[in-house]
Structure 1
């Protein structure tokens, strides 16, 4: 989940409504509208859902008024995310009063966690579909059209949707996501993911390669490999001793073309191996950027979180990354105010951030989630005002770190993948370098387009953007 405008991220991604840019809007007699919340996995899942719906004769729309079916792909990681979804559902119900045939469904993690409550107690939706049940959408729609409440939240040990070609719902045509695995085996005490998305299972590597090749052939120049914990990717072929690790997969995708950039998210510190780091160092088109969530800088709190590493171990991992990949950018997730957190624990978090020099962080005050191990084992005993004050200090430090790191780039030259016009001016291009930093530069008279690579020298840094000019003679 990469933010382009600000490098300090506090809230979850807002809902976004998408329509496939390549679709003929007049081709389909029925229309669906979909909003996605939360992590990049949810946005990628929405593309799988769009593919399934297209096979059933539904075309995408960005206009609620013309939709026959409204879907929300939801997140349960924080209470605020669920509150946002409930507000949207209440708005959608007003549309249903005017058009009783309109169907409303909830997908994803919130659907899995709340199940029948959304259907029966609050009567906000007609359908509830869990993350492993998207193939059943056609049958559930038929049930709902017949007046029944439709639900399927069964978790699967095998489902990876590897045979479904996602309908690309993004709009830039340059960058896209590829889901390589689903679920999570890490039982972090604060997290609902193992309960809402089930156990880990990895996609067949050949299906991933086919998707990457297809994207490249269609003009995409960057893919992000997605998973709750990509480094634990591990695929075995039935009846064979062949094993594909994440390092193997990373190399295979990098070899699709040197013009295809590779990113990945998210990494658990315990699983990112030297093999992965050496593979990153070997290929120029694997971006030198690692999202390495720390959550807390206190060993005591990390143990309560069941993160399976210590403060000292994490610091050594940061050192190892920069030893093998000099200059590698690192970002993180940080939680303030976890159960029993003291001022000393908080100060240890700040010191780990300062040592690691994160490019950006996703920063949250602890939000107790029903059903998690933390909710069952520990009291949520840090006062809200203390959580907020500590979060503010974390945010302030991250802003300082980001500003320093951006300023250090002035005078350097980077290869930039052009992604879009600058938001502020159609006379400028906007793209990112290997570290994920946004660089804006004048188009001038060069014959360039989205998806081209260009060398850009940085002349100025703002709080979240680098500003530069093209170095002549280095476009491709």
Structure 2
């Protein structure tokens, strides 16, 4: 049978979809890029903001009509819309859905398919996939056939769930308490991706710095990065990233590890969410404006050439104009490389939804969002302009509109032209144009296209 997975939301959802796809491949099913051609259709949902939840319901409502026309089509829903508890209300609201799966848990679909089809009816796994599986360990991931030896960058969850419980965040209610994967399982996951041609892995957690905190005398994130770096050197993975961090758990040991190990990229994603101390306290973030500023200063001091990313929520309940301007001033002063901006929307059962009035109008939220967006575009434009004329190392991900597209160690997007097939290679590129969202470049004129200094294959 053929399956299609429609994924909404964060990188963790992308990783969860990959894990579900792996289980489907293991059973002998194959991916379909065309959803209309799929026998099994799964929507992996996000509810972090109301717009994401609306999009999930919109897609599922479309599938209701499809199910009526093709009752044999199997429909599944996965992710935060389902949550970690039995979704009785969803079963009533979405009768077209055959299988409900909690975040990171493909097992209900596996059991459903095993129950519906006799073993003799399940397509045998292709020989290539079987041979690759024989080389893999616990935690292995089998990529869909069209991604094997073509997917360059992949995500590896290392911490599921979250126990921090910021007042605005629905994640603990939908993904459950914090729980770390074992080193062995993560190693198996990373090795399996390397065997299938992946050149970059990103270790994921809602608070990735909390890795190992739930394991008595367990390893921490710095230890895990060191182990992953060894695997990368052994198996040809060129780059390692990790996200998302929390200011309260960013240790000197972690920063020094990033600075020391060459295959760990100099990017720290550490959300601030707001710049006013009272708003931060109401959000239950656990730090102040001044403490965040000192953290950014420390990160820059310990990691040469580091890029720092953050998240911002505008229009949190009770946020005044003066409090918002503290956030504006923070971004203007710190000049961070990226800011993910969001307008506050109350999420069911969170503390802010139960106890706080959503009293900032939508129009005001949009205005504040636009102000920060304009500021950040100017800041990043100035940061990127420093790369003009420089040689940067780019990991080439794919071809886009006749140009190769890849990213620098600082996660800057770069486009350049070449007639060679450079996908998956590390390439030195001279930057010829910069903007706030991407850069253009060319292969240096002083070198030939096959010069090992230009193309450094893993």
What TM-score, normalized by structure 2, do the two folds share? 0.87
Matched residue, 2:12: 41
Matched residue, 1:281: 259
Give SS of 1:361's match: strand
- Once structures 1 and 2 are overlaid, which stretch shifts more, 131-140 or 46-55? 131-140
Matched residue, 2:430: 457
Give SS of 1:185's match: coil
Matched, 1:134 2:106: yes
The one-character-per-residue Cα deviations of 1:137-172 (angstroms, maximum 9, x if unpaired) are 233456789xxxxxxxxxxxxxxxx94422335844
C-alpha distance 257-84 of structure 1, shift in aligned 2 (>3 A): closer
Matched, 1:294 2:272: yes
Matched, 1:168 2:139: no
Give SS of 2:380's match: helix
Which of 249, 255, 259 does residue 224 from structure 2 map onto?
249
Which of 392, 410, 413 does residue 435 from structure 1 map onto?
410
The one-character-per-residue Cα deviations of 1:83-136 (angstroms, maximum 9, x if unpaired) are 111111111112111111222221010112892222213534232221254223
Q: Does the CA-based 8 Å contact 1:456-1:470 persist in structure 2?
A: yes
Q: Does the CA-based 8 Å contact 2:141-2:193 persist in structure 1?
A: no
CA drift at 1:199: 0.9
Q: Does the CA-based 8 Å contact 1:236-1:242 persist in structure 2?
A: no
How many residue pairs get matched?
Answer: 424
C-alpha distance 70-257 of structure 1, shift in aligned 2 (>3 A): closer
- Once structures 1 and 2 are overlaid, which stretch shifts more, 318-327 or 435-444? 435-444
Partners of 2:64 and 2:9 in 1: CA distance: 22
Matched residue, 2:125: none
CA drift at 1:469: 2.1
Q: Does the CA-based 8 Å contact 1:112-1:130 persist in structure 2?
A: yes
Matched residue, 1:121: 93
C-alpha distance 217-48 of structure 1, shift in aligned 2 (>3 A): closer
CA drift at 1:431: 1.3
Matched, 1:395 2:373: yes
The unaligned stretches of length 5 or more in structure 1 are 1-29, 146-161
CA drift at 1:206: 2.4
Q: Does the CA-based 8 Å contact 1:48-1:164 persist in structure 2?
A: no
Partners of 1:64 and 1:269 in 2: CA distance: 41
Give SS of 1:92's match: helix
Matched residue, 1:3: none
Give SS of 2:80's match: helix
Give SS of 1:180's match: strand
Partners of 1:242 and 1:336 in 2: CA distance: 39
Q: Does the CA-based 8 Å contact 1:32-1:59 persist in structure 2?
A: yes
CA drift at 1:448: 5.4
The one-character-per-residue Cα deviations of 1:361-399 (angstroms, maximum 9, x if unpaired) are 211110000110111121111111111111111111111
Matched residue, 2:122: none
C-alpha distance 431-55 of structure 1, shift in aligned 2 (>3 A): closer
Q: Does the CA-based 8 Å contact 2:167-2:351 persist in structure 1?
A: yes
The one-character-per-residue Cα deviations of 1:251-277 (angstroms, maximum 9, x if unpaired) are 111122345200111111111111111
C-alpha distance 54-220 of structure 1, shift in aligned 2 (>3 A): closer
CA drift at 1:411: 1.9
Partners of 2:248 and 2:95 in 1: CA distance: 42
What TM-score, normalized by structure 1, do the two folds share? 0.84
Matched residue, 2:442: 469
Partners of 1:242 and 1:190 in 2: CA distance: 31
Q: Which structure 2 residues correspond to residues 173-188 of structure 1 after superposition, within 5 A?
A: 173-188=151-166
Q: Does the CA-based 8 Å contact 1:71-1:104 persist in structure 2?
A: yes
C-alpha distance 236-331 of structure 1, shift in aligned 2 (>3 A): closer
C-alpha distance 450-142 of structure 1, shift in aligned 2 (>3 A): closer
Give SS of 1:243's match: coil
Q: Which structure 2 residues correspond to residues 285-364 of structure 1 after superposition, within 5 A?
A: 285-364=263-342
C-alpha distance 124-355 of structure 1, shift in aligned 2 (>3 A): farther
The one-character-per-residue Cα deviations of 1:214-253 (angstroms, maximum 9, x if unpaired) are 323433211111111111101687xxx7531101111111
Q: Which structure 2 residues correspond to residues 10-49 of structure 1 after superposition, within 5 A?
A: 30-49=1-20
Q: Which structure 2 residues correspond to residues 181-220 of structure 1 after superposition, within 5 A?
A: 181-220=159-198
Q: Which structure 2 residues correspond to residues 30-69 of structure 1 after superposition, within 5 A?
A: 30-69=1-40
The one-character-per-residue Cα deviations of 1:34-86 (angstroms, maximum 9, x if unpaired) are 10100011111111111222334432212233322211000010111111111
C-alpha distance 403-96 of structure 1, shift in aligned 2 (>3 A): same
Give SS of 1:244's match: coil
